[in-house]
């Protein structure tokens, strides 16, 4: 019961769910190949359920060279968000084991949201490595970092 009380707010307060919108005017200020531009175009594609296009934008970022300070954060967020597609099988081949491994890489890259995704995966009965103790540990890590 207590775990549910902790889990439900994280699902609704997910930064992925409330990602900042990017207006067309903002996109015209950026180069098309700019990592930030690609990230927001991927987000727009995701919101419109065009998952394969979202994955293409985010994969571009993962492979792109870093040009500006802050690009590392966009790379980590892109890895985490494209990994969400991989876990769910949205627009890309579903591979839950690969997804959890990639989320762990995203955590090392500084993506906070990936921790919540890993916690969910370990609580998911459809994940072959389902482990509620590990799930709780990842959820606790979210709480410890936010404090």
Round to whole Å and give the CA distance between 29 and 93.
34
Domains, the chain: 2-146 (1.25.40.10)
Q: What is the dihedral of CA 131, 128, 50, 110, to 10 degrees?
A: 40
The one-digit pLDDT tens for each residue of the chain (147 residues) are 454 444 434 433 444 444 455 555 655 665 667 888 899 999 999 999 999 999 999 999 999 998 888 889 999 999 999 999 999 999 999 999 999 999 999 999 989 999 999 999 999 999 999 999 999 999 999 888 754
**Cα separation, 19 vs 109, whole angstroms:** 19
Cα separation, 125 vs 130, whole angstroms: 6
113 neighbors 119 (Cβ within 8 angstroms): no
Q: What angle do CA 56, 119, 58 make, to 5 degrees?
A: 10
pTM over 0.85: no
The pLDDT of residue 76 is 93
- Give the integer Cα–Cα distance in Å for 10 and 8: 5
């Amino acid at each position: 019961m207590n775990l549910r009380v902790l889990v439900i707010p994280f699902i609704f307060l997910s930064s992925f769910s409330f990602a900042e919108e990017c207006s067309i005017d903002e996109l015209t200020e950026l180069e098309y190949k700019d990592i930030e531009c690609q990230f927001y175009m991927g987000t727009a594609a995701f919101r419109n359920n065009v998952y394969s296009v979202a994955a293409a934008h985010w994969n571009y970022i993962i492979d792109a060279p870093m040009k500006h300070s802050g690009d590392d954060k966009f790379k980590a967020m892109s890895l985490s968000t494209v990994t969400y597609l991989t876990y769910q099988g949205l627009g890309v081949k579903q591979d839950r084991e690969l997804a959890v491994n990639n989320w762990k890489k995203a955590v090392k890259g500084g993506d906070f949201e990936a921790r919540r995704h890993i916690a969910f995966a370990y609580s998911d009965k459809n994940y072959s490595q389902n482990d509620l103790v590990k799930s709780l540990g990842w959820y606790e890590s979210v709480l410890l970092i936010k404090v």
